């Protein structure tokens, strides 16, 4: 069990003292988080770390997950893609499916805590249960250019919240609700990010039969078209023409993402004639993700759209050179040619990977700068502070507060 004081060596005594001071003011408040999957994806990753730490700080915080059938999650996946700006064919029936499952959750999930913290669109309609408590809607998606039909549908719920949180300034949207800008974070002490011994890393490479005789390029992400795994294979193929290397695509699934297996099979098909492409459909295992990221020479994140991209922060924290698309929250994390490489195309990504493989000292420098940037901006201690200030602000009347 990680204690709040364990973070002192990482972020300093003053930061932890601040957290304790602020938490004193919230000791009599109860908070409930609600999302749509207990594992898989960034939201579950963040909640799995924030909830125990808020409790450690003395704020009673719990986490509940809505239920839904495959048809509900097919609809919410379309919503997800449409908010990201992808053209989706969303019918009247889809909205009906969404509302029907929402009704079931509205009647089953208790929401009497002081603050109800709803994550992403799947549980958004629970706001119909609002009494005199405070409700926050946390949008983890890049909503800078949403499909109007879906956004207007969701807006009917959003306007009843007390506050809305986006990850980046560019995602905020004209709404008659107070907006807060709070970026996500990683936990440096979690099983996913803690330091590992060489033998621990090697044990995972051995388990999955991954030799280290060639440079290893890795993308770890859910098998989702917006993560562009096929594009990653194209990048690898272009790199391999000049520099012999191996590609690892590792990912798990999430119950709220029904497309995962379909994309996984597409990727297997695309990779089937190349022994140097390793595809892992992993069960959720933070230790193994940690080891695979640390074993890699270059981390790719070739997303087409991205809310924040925790995988980028995780890799930078491990001092890895990262080549990633300049989309969504990735641009908050990487300054091009300083703390990683931003790319706009397959050719651009391949060029950046080759540059790093041909000049390991340059890659090392990018990784070191990246770690410093993550340390200063995207650790869980900053996130805890901003969430606690957000909770406190709900009891004060101000128009807009930017953290």
The contact set with ligand UDP (CB under 6 A) reads 41-42, 45, 192, 220-222, 250-252, 282, 284, 289, 308-311, 314
What is the Cα–Cα distance from 29 to 11, expressed in whole angstroms? 26
Q: Which is nearer to ligand UDP, 45 or 228 (CB)?
A: 45
Shortest Å, Cβ 224 to ligand UDP = 7
Q: Which is nearer to ligand UDP, 29 or 227 (CB)?
A: 227
Whether the Cβ atoms of residue 251 and residue 281 lie closer than 8 Å to each other: yes
Shortest Å, Cβ 386 to ligand UDP = 17
Whether the Cβ atoms of residue 251 and residue 285 lie closer than 8 Å to each other: no
Closest by CA position to 220, among listed 290, 122, 172, 320? 290
Tell which phi-psi region holds residue 85, choosing left (phi > 0), alpha (psi between -120 and 50) or beta. left
User: Reading across the β-sheet that carries 322-325, which strands appear in turn?
Assistant: 277-281, 246-251, 216-220, 298-301, 322-325, 341-343
Shortest Å, Cβ 144 to ligand UDP = 16
Shortest Å, Cβ 43 to ligand UDP = 6
Shortest Å, Cβ 169 to ligand UDP = 18
Shortest Å, Cβ 17 to ligand UDP = 28
Q: Which is nearer to ligand UDP, 180 or 308 (CB)?
A: 308
Q: Which is nearer to ligand UDP, 26 or 220 (CB)?
A: 220
In order of 4, 313, 315, the CA distances from 271 in angstroms are 44, 27, 24
Q: Which is nearer to ligand UDP, 25 or 284 (CB)?
A: 284
Shortest Å, Cβ 297 to ligand UDP = 18
Shortest Å, Cβ 227 to ligand UDP = 7
Shortest Å, Cβ 293 to ligand UDP = 8
Closest by CA position to 374, among listed 327, 325, 322, 326? 322
Q: Which is nearer to ligand UDP, 68 or 251 (CB)?
A: 251
Shortest Å, Cβ 329 to ligand UDP = 8
112's CB contacts (< 8 A; 6+ apart) are: 131, 133
Q: Which is nearer to ligand UDP, 242 or 377 (CB)?
A: 377
Q: Which residues pair with residue 219 across a beta bridge?
A: 249
Shortest Å, Cβ 244 to ligand UDP = 26
Q: State the DSSP string of 186-216.
A: B-TTSTTTS---HHHHHHHHHHTT---SS-E
Which residue has the closest beta carbon to ligand UDP? Answer: 42
What is the Cα–Cα distance from 63 to 32, expressed in whole angstroms? 6
- 368-382 burial by CB neighbour count: b if 16+ within 10 A, else e? ebbbebbeeebbbbb
Closest by CA position to 146, among listed 319, 268, 354, 328? 328
Q: Which is nearer to ligand UDP, 229 or 252 (CB)?
A: 252
**DSSP 8-state assignment for residue 326:** S
Q: Which is nearer to ligand UDP, 287 or 362 (CB)?
A: 287
SS3 290: helix
Q: Which is nearer to ligand UDP, 310 or 384 (CB)?
A: 310
Tell which phi-psi region holds residue 359, choosing left (phi > 0), alpha (psi between -120 and 50) or beta. beta
What is the Cα–Cα distance from 338 to 172, expressed in whole angstroms? 27
Q: Which is nearer to ligand UDP, 44 or 352 (CB)?
A: 44
């Amino acid at each position: 069990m990680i204690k709040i004081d364990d973070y002192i060596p990482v972020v300093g005594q003053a930061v932890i003292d601040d957290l304790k001071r602020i938490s004193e003011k919230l000791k009599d408040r109860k908070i409930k988080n609600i999302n749509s999957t207990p594992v898989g994806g960034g939201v579950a990753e963040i909640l799995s770390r924030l909830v125990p730490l808020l409790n450690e700080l003395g704020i009673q915080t719990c986490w509940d997950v809505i239920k839904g059938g495959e048809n509900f999650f097919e609809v919410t996946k379309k919503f997800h893609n449409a908010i990201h700006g992808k053209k989706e064919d969303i019918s009247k029936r889809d909205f009906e499916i969404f509302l029907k499952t929402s009704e079931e959750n509205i009647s089953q999930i208790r929401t009497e805590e002081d603050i109800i913290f709803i994550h992403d669109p799947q549980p958004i309609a629970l706001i119909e249960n609002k009494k005199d408590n405070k409700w926050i809607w946390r949008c983890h998606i890049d909503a800078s250019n949403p499909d109007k039909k879906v956004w207007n549908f969701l807006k009917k719920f959003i306007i009843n919240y007390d506050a809305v949180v986006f990850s980046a300034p560019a995602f905020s949207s004209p709404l008659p609700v107070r907006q807060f800008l709070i970026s996500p974070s990683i936990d440096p002490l979690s099983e996913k990010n803690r330091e590992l011994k060489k033998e621990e890393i090697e044990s995972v490479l051995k388990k999955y039969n991954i030799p280290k005789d060639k440079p290893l390029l890795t993308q770890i992400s859910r098998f989702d078209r917006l993560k562009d795994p096929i594009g990653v294979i194209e990048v690898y193929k272009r790199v391999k023409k000049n520099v012999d290397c191996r590609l690892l695509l590792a990912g798990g699934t999430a119950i709220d993402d029904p497309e995962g297996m379909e994309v996984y099979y597409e990727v297997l098909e695309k990779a089937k004639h190349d022994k140097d492409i390793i595809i892992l459909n992993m069960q959720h295992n933070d230790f193994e993700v940690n080891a695979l990221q640390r074993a890699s020479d270059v981390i790719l994140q070739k997303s087409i759209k991205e809310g924040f991209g925790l995988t980028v922060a995780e890799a930078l924290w491990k001092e890895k050179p990262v080549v990633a698309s300049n989309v969504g929250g990735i641009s908050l994390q990487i300054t091009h040619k300083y703390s990683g490489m931003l790319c706009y195309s397959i050719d651009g990504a391949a060029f950046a990977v080759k540059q790093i493989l041909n000049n390991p000292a340059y890659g090392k420098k990018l990784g070191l700068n990246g770690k410093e940037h993550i340390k200063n901006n995207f650790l869980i201690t900053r996130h805890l502070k901003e969430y606690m200030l957000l909770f406190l602000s709900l009891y004060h009347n101000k128009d807009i507060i930017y953290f």
